[in-house]
Amino acid sequence: MEGKNLLGELFTVIAQKQVVELHYHRFDTPDEDRKTVVHPYLLKEYNRRWYLVVAADNDGKILSFALDRIDKFVPLPSRSYKEYDGDLNERFEDIIGVTLIDGNPLQTIMFWVSDYSKDYVATKPLHESQRHYKGEREMELRQQYPKLEGGAFFSIDCIENYELIRELSSFGKDLLVLSPADIQQKVRDRVVAQFQAYQTL
């Protein structure tokens, strides 16, 4: 099953509420066949790639699999399908990407963007919750961070996951996380690691 065929087949098992044995591979070990029993709930597109969102049969943990990692799946009609308790789409409203991490809180993430990138971020928000601070609030932030020249201040309300840190890091020096401290540190660590990797060339 490949491409659109796989997508169509997965839509069918979701609609029919079938438990499946999923066969997949990791990108770093493409020849190693892995399998797991899952309850498929949703197909979601992110960054031009489709993902299957499921619950693991053994512990109910919500997982996502990129379709290009899925080699095949086998329906298990004898297994009882477990419905998701709630609206799964609502959980995705508070994240960037497809990785749901239970227990991580919703946080307001404040960041500054340079003059070079501020118009891009203003017109292509990182998340639907993005706010652009102007007027009195902007003046307060400029007094709080006097070394930041020009640019603009924004915030988003998100639950931390891998995609969030990757997105915030992708702008390099043109986006600086101001708070909270734990998100700031993780972005800093990722940028430092990238710089150190370049030094090895």
At 184 the pLDDT is 98
pLDDT digits (tens, 9 = 90+) for 14-35: 999 999 999 999 877 777 889 9
**159 near 106, Cβ under 8 Å?**
yes
Bridge-based pairing state of the strands 131-133 and 175-179: unpaired
Distances (CA, A) of 201 to 28, 67, 95, 125: 22, 33, 35, 34
Q: What is the pTM of this model?
A: 0.85
Which tokens belong to 15? Answer: 């609609």
pLDDT band of residue 82 (cuts 50, 70, 90) is: very high
Q: How far apart are CA 52 and CA 34, in angstroms?
A: 16
Q: Is 88 exposed, middle or buried (0-12, 13-18, 19+ CB in 10 A)?
A: middle
From 4-13, 48-57, 75-84, the region with the lowest mean pLDDT: 4-13
- Residue the block writes with tokens 């734990």: 182
Of all residues in the chain, what percent carry a pLDDT higher than 70? 98
Fold of domain 3-92: SH3 type barrels. (2.30.30)
Complete edge-to-edge strand list for the sheet that includes strand 70-75: 62-66, 49-56, 29-46, 20-26, 70-75
- Residues ≥6 apart with Cβ < 8 Å to 161: 95, 96, 97, 99, 100, 101, 104
Alpha carbon distance 86, 133 (integer Å): 34
